[in-house]
Each structure stands twice: as structure tokens, then as C-alpha cells.
Amino acid sequence: METDLFGNRLLVIDDDSGFRRLITRIAEGAGFETVATDDAGHFVERARVWHPSVIILDLRMPGIDGIQLLRDLSAEQCPANVVLASGMDGKVLDAAQQLGRERGLKIGGVLAKPVRAAAVRELLDRFKPVSKAVLTGDLERAIATGQLFLEYQPKLDCRLNRIVGVEALVRWRHPDRGIVPPDQFIAPAEEAGIIQRLTDWVVATAARQAAAWQAAPLGLEVAVNISANDVLDRDLPDRLEALCRGAGAAPAMLILELTETGAMREAVQMMDVLTRLRLKGFKLAIDDFGTGYSSLVQLQRLPFSELKIDRTFVAQMAQNGSCRVIVEITIDLARKLGMKNVAEGVEDGATLAMLADMGCNMAQGYHVSRPLPAGSVADFARGFAPSRLASVA
């Protein structure tokens, strides 16, 4: 299916006319051109010829099989972000999301029914895409002119109850569009061939900040996300080492995070580059663990030092027994492989307490802290006490 991936087009299929009207009103107010239908044939045809950027699909409708619609979208190689709207229980939704991903679709999450208007707005803001023109021109200018900046999300040591590190998160302050979140420009930057420049900027900036904290003195490890495309470049270890040296930071101060799916591509090349990164002193984390079908043999062979448990499981573990078991098994797996483990998406005290009881090393999420500007991290870390957790939303 050939398409412009960057248009603001929303396609909705749902049998509830009130739901369709609500979604249409909110979407059009957010700048989306919207088509809403309750007819499966019309839906599939519009997906084929209209090229939506976002699809909201109700899984359970009279006379319409939502799983069949996912199969139809897969057959068309539909590139849209697909959101499942449903009031079904968690296990059914988890299975449907995984099925969609396995069929090659970009599953963008769940819109729970009864739906809240604020949740719809947040969803659409997340998927409002950046145009090709913006990416090919403006992003390169943004790197050169200081439009990019980093925020840092603290990581809590679950045993010591202190802040021991941060994850660097890139943001783009666009002069016309305002703050552009990374999920709107990272993947397109890869497609546009400018991901190397972006990665170099992030690593150099994070390394300078890590060196400043070290001199404060405040020894915080800084985690930086890298693209699988970066790791296919054999020059990456030497380039990142030079960036750290120029920033006055030792490579050991940085943790390079690679997603689980990315880590399983082209294993020999990955092993070459990742091993050389470890030899230069960088730590390596496998991110979003549990969201892909990684080979345990590959996980054992590749030289990761840290495993990050995906927020999908962590956020639901207090209410969902299956998620709780997956988290516990993953913590045990990391420990037995000699790796530290980090739980992402910790949103409440009950989840944090369960993680600590399971022997989780580190926790990250809004219950610990939202991402902070660099200037606020030192005060937060130095003033941190366990009692603060109760007041962090």
C-alpha cells in the first residue's frame, strides 16, 4: 500500500453512533480529517485508498469481526497507527494487540470504553504526525540551532531508596508546532537517513551533562536510547567514544539502550558492534523487554548489562496476575544472567512495593518522578527521601 505516512487522517469503525460523533468532533478540533463508519466494507476500502495515519477500531461489533479487520489491514500492509477501542477484559485486549503486531501492524494501544474525551485528545496528540518537509529540513536545522533539548527521568534504586541514574529523553521545541514528542520524529528520522546526526547530538549532550554531575559531585549514570540503525554502523563505537572524550565523560557513565526488537536484528553485526561498545566501557541495556519474541540464546550471547521491563507489564501488575508473573520471571531471568533490571512505568506505591519485594534493582516512572530539566535533577536527587514517593503523582 503506497501512502503518505505523514497526513493527519483518522479512520474510525464503531457501531455506536454517539462514539463516532464524539471521536469525530474531538479529532476535527485537533486538526484531523476524519472518516467514521459502521460498515466493514466501507472501512476496508477507505483504509486501502484514503491512507489514514491513525485508525480507531472497535473489536466487538454486531456482525463485524474485529480480528478479521486486523487481518484485512495486515493484508493491505496498512502503515497506520491502529488503536483498539473496546470494553473487553485485559487478556483479550493484550492478545488482540499482540496478534496485530505479529501481523506487522503498528498497534498504538487501547482506547478503553467508556471513553473519556481527555483520553481521546491525548491519543490524537501522540499520533499527530510531522510532515516529510519538516523532517528533511527542519530537524537538521533543529540540531544545529538548539531547538532540541533533553529531559531526564530519574531511576530509583529499590533497595537503597535513592536516585542512582536518569534516562535522557530528547524533545524538539519546534518554532511553529511547539513541543514535538520523540515518537513523532525518531522513526521518520531513521527513514530520512538523519538518525546518526540525531544520535550523536543526544549522546554528546548527555555526556556533557553526565560529566557536570560527576564534577558536582553527583554520580548519576545516564541512559541514552540508540537506534537499531545506529548499531548497524561499525563506526559507532569509535564515534561515541570520541564524543564522550570531547565531553569529558568516561563511557562508563553512559548506558546505551536498544529495544528488544532492534537487538534481535542481524545478530552477528549486532554482536560485533555491541561487544566493542562494552570493551570501550559503555554499559548496554535491552529496552522494552517482553514486547517481542527475542531468542533467549541471543539474549545470552549479546553483551547486555541491564534489562528494562516494559511498562505494559509493570503498569498492570498490581491488578493483573499474569503481568505480575511475567515481571517476576523477568527479574529472576535478569538476575540469573548477571544483568541489572529496571522496571519502567511505575505509576503507584503498590507497584513499587511489589517490585521491591521481588528484588527489582531499579524503578522508573511518574510515581518516582516525571522527566525533569537538567537543572532540576541535582536538587531532586539530593533532596530525595522515601517519604517523597507518597506525594509524587
Give me the pLDDT at residue 292, please. Answer: 53
Helix-helix angle 195-215:236-247, to 10 degrees: 40
172 lies in the same domain as 49: no
Calculate the CA dihedral of residues 203, 206, 210, 211 and round it to 10 degrees: 70
Banded pLDDT at 140 (limits 50, 70, 90): confident
Whether residue 364 contacts residue 153, with contact meaning beta carbons closer than 8 Å, is answered with: yes
Instruction: Return the number of other C-beta atoms located less than 10 Å from residue 285's C-beta.
Output: 24
- For 23, 254, 265, 272, 302, the CA distances from 269, given in Å and listed in that order, are 45, 22, 9, 5, 11
* Domain shared by 155 and 99, yes or no: no
Task: Kindly report the CATH number assigned to the domain that includes residue 153.
Answer: 3.20.20.450
Same domain, 161 and 221: yes
CATH of the domain at 56: 3.40.50.2300
Which domain range does residue 351 map to? 132-391
Kindly state whether residues 212 and 291 are assigned to the same domain.
yes
Query: Which pairs count as long-range contacts for 131-138, CB under 8 Å and 24+ apart, including other chains?
Result: 131/6, 132/4, 132/6, 132/188, 132/192, 134/174, 134/177, 135/185, 135/188, 135/189, 135/192, 135/194, 136/192, 136/194, 138/174
Examine the fold and report which residue of 127, 151, 169 is the final residue of a domain before the chain moves on.
Answer: 127
Residue 23, all three cell numbers = 471521536
For residues 183-191, average pLDDT: 77
**Rounded distance, CA 291 to CA 391, Å?**
31
Checking if the pLDDT of 160 tops 60, the result is: yes
> What's the pLDDT tens digit per position in 228-277?
888 888 999 999 999 999 999 999 999 999 875 555 556 778 889 999 99
pTM above 0.85, yes or no: no
Cβ neighbourhood burial of 132 (10 Å; 0-12, 13-18, 19+): middle
Distance between CA atoms of 93 and 84, rounded to whole angstroms?
8
CA 112 to chain centre: 20
Q: What pLDDT, on the 0 to 100 scale, is given for residue 283?
A: 96
Give the β-pairing of 148-157 and 162-174: antiparallel
The mean per-residue pLDDT over the stretch 351-377 comes to 94
283 and 188 housed in the same domain: yes
Same domain, residue pair 106 and 31? yes
Q: What is the pLDDT of residues 315-336, one digit of tens each?
A: 889 888 998 999 999 999 999 9
Q: Among 58, 93, 127, give the residue marking a domain's end.
A: 127
Count of domains for the chain: 2
Angle formed at CA 271 by CA 267 and CA 272, multiple of 5 degrees: 120
| Alpha carbon separation from 111 to 9, 87, 118, 124, 313 (Å, rounded) | 17, 9, 11, 11, 17
Out of 127, 153, 168, a domain closes at 127
pLDDT at 75: 87
Please indicate, yes or no, whether residues 341 and 368 belong to a single structural domain of this protein: yes
101-128: average pLDDT? 84
Beta bridge partners of 170: 150
Q: How far apart, in whole angstroms, are the C-alpha atoms of residue 233 and residue 230?
A: 6
Considering the domain architecture, whether residues 32 and 149 belong to the same structural domain is answered as no
Q: What is the mean pLDDT of residues 98-103?
A: 87
Tell me the per-residue pLDDT of 17-49, one tens digit each, with 9 for 90 and over.
999 999 999 998 888 899 999 999 999 999 988
